[in-house]
Amino acid sequence: MQQILEAIQAGASSDEFANLVIPESYRAAFVKRDETAMFDGIDSWDKDPRKSLHVDDVATPELAPDEVYVAVMASSINFNTVWTSIFEPLPTFGFLDKMGRQNEWGKRHSLPYHVVGSDASGVVVHVGSAVRNWKPGDRVTVHCNYVDDQDPSAHNDSMLASNQLIWGFETNFGGLADLAVVKANQLMPKPTHLSWEEAAVNALCSSTSYRMLVGDHGARMKQGDSVLIWGATGGIGGYAVQYVLNGGGTPIGVVSSPERAELLNKMGCEAVIDRRAENYQFWSDEHTQDESEWRRFGKRIRELNGGEDVDIVFEHPGRSTMGASVFAAKRGGTIVTCAATSGYMVEFDNRHFWMKLKKLLSSHFANYAEAYAANKLLNQGRVQPLLTATYDLEHVGDAALSVHHNEAEGKLGVLCLAPEKNMGIDDPAKRERIGEEKITIFRS
């Protein structure tokens, strides 16, 4: 891997990259199949990713014709790596075994270890024989929608493909490693003004928020719409705020501290609810929701939103908030959801839903076109990376724990092959034009 790194740093030509030897093994972060019971009987909160995530050398898998090897300069922590590392709601080895039954190439994935990570920035070092649009030496980011495009169901909208998977979560050989195996149709050009770690943190979260709010398959926010955004300084929430502001809408951001409220104001989001300070208790006990708390929440939203209910609710906490989210959407409004961080058995009052003709929309990551559109906005400097802090791969467990415990705003980057931070900026003049302050807003 040292030779590959030197070639990247020396700006080697495509031919020089193509002649490099791919090492037989590489450094990666993974969980082990024989440790999936290690947290049995322990409370979710106390399950510690530092114990389950290992960093060591693993064997380099063979490359399928439609795949490339990417030398990963940086990656990021997503919540799916937290789920994998605490083996909830179920160990991810089941996904790998299912893949193993798909076909010959799928078999490579069913292993005693699972290399995790669903984001990456880096350099293509070798391409399979069927790859046409990418070549060794290309500087790329990687999105995590993994589909077999020879399946007819993968066309129209590839998120509806019967074999659609999330790379590094439902597949092996993910991005938290020095080398990754990805399909050519996961590649996107690296935004030229960003460092490796700034470029690495976006694809999963920004594309998810793009589909939920902007793309044809989501809530299709339009100018003037007001959007309630839970976790508005979190991974997907922070990109959602930017999409709403860019699209001429009004974000109403929900966060849990005065510092996060201030950060939202700095981003240009004026309407902010500090859910901790307001002490909403939507559930009065484990089984009962308190409608008067939904009403108190709705009243606060209207105070901030010119007396109106919101057009769209950007929902992902799940069980703890879904009742309030359905209540808070306006008559005919849309609740769009992609997750259930606090619990997936959600409950809402159907009367508020049907009598007010609301819509509940499910969303999951993004197809290639949507991920590409989101990447383009980053490359144009119209959406900023939400990098808050950067870890090295050896400390991936600390980074995952921080996300698990909701300690960090925005996104946590992880340096893989990149020896230090702030490397990989190809167009400093463009960076200056866009503005350092904007690009680093979550680090100031």
Give the number of residues in contact with ligand NAP, rule: CB under 6 A.
30
Specify the residue, 12 or 228, whose C-beta has the smaller distance to ligand NAP.
228
Distance CA 67, CA 173 (A): 12
Single out the segment in contact with ligand NAP by CB under 6 A; choices: 3-11, 73-81, 103-111, 432-440: 73-81
Among 143, 260, 300, 330, binds ligand NAP (CB under 6 A): 260
Which residue has 């609810």 as its token pair? 273
Single out the segment in contact with ligand NAP by CB under 6 A; choices: 29-37, 191-199, 228-236, 262-270: 228-236
By three-state DSSP, how is residue 20 classified?
Answer: coil
Determine whether 356 is exposed, middle or buried from the number of CB atoms within 10 Å of its CB (0-12, 13-18, 19+). middle
Residue 323, CB-side half-sphere exposure with 13 Å CA sphere:
23
Among 168, 237, 249, 397, binds ligand NAP (CB under 6 A): 237
Specify the residue, 255 or 417, whose C-beta has the smaller distance to ligand NAP.
255
Angle 273-279-284 (CA atoms, 0-180°, nearest 5)?
Answer: 130
Binding mask 76-115 for ligand NAP (x = CB under 6 A): --xxx-----------------------------------
Q: Does residue 256 bind ligand NAP (CB under 6 A)?
A: yes
Specify the residue, 110 or 141, whose C-beta has the smaller distance to ligand NAP.
141
Specify the residue, 114 or 260, whose C-beta has the smaller distance to ligand NAP.
260
Q: Does residue 230 bind ligand NAP (CB under 6 A)?
A: yes
Specify the residue, 192 or 256, whose C-beta has the smaller distance to ligand NAP.
256
- If we measure between CA atoms, which residue out of 259, 262, 293 comes closest to residue 278? 293
Site for ligand NAP in 162-221 (CB under 6 A): 204-205, 208
Distance CA 386, CA 439 (A): 8
Q: Does residue 317 bind ligand NAP (CB under 6 A)?
A: yes
Task: For residue 330, give the amino acid letter.
Answer: K
Q: Does residue 339 bind ligand NAP (CB under 6 A)?
A: yes
Site for ligand NAP in 380-399 (CB under 6 A): none
Task: Determine how many CB atoms are found less than 10 A away from the CB of residue 163.
Answer: 17
Task: Determine how many CB atoms are found less than 10 A away from the CB of residue 375.
Answer: 24
Distance CA 68, CA 180 (A): 8
Q: Which residue is nearest to ligand NAP (CB)?
A: 234
Query: Any idea what DSSP says for residue 177?
Result: B
SS3 content of the chain, % helix, strand, coil (to 5): 35, 25, 40
Task: Give residues with Cβ within 8 angstroms of 122, minimum separation 6.
Answer: 70, 71, 72, 73, 74, 139, 140, 142, 180, 196, 416, 417
Q: Give least dist CB 331 to ligand NAP, A.
A: 24
Q: Give least dist CB 211 to ligand NAP, A.
A: 8
Specify the residue, 79 or 173, whose C-beta has the smaller distance to ligand NAP.
79
Single out the segment in contact with ligand NAP by CB under 6 A; choices: 21-29, 105-113, 130-138, 232-240: 232-240
Q: Give the interface with ligand NAP as residue ranges (CB under 6 A).
A: 78-80, 204-205, 208, 230-231, 233-237, 254-256, 260, 275, 316-317, 320-321, 338-339, 341-342, 364-365, 403, 406
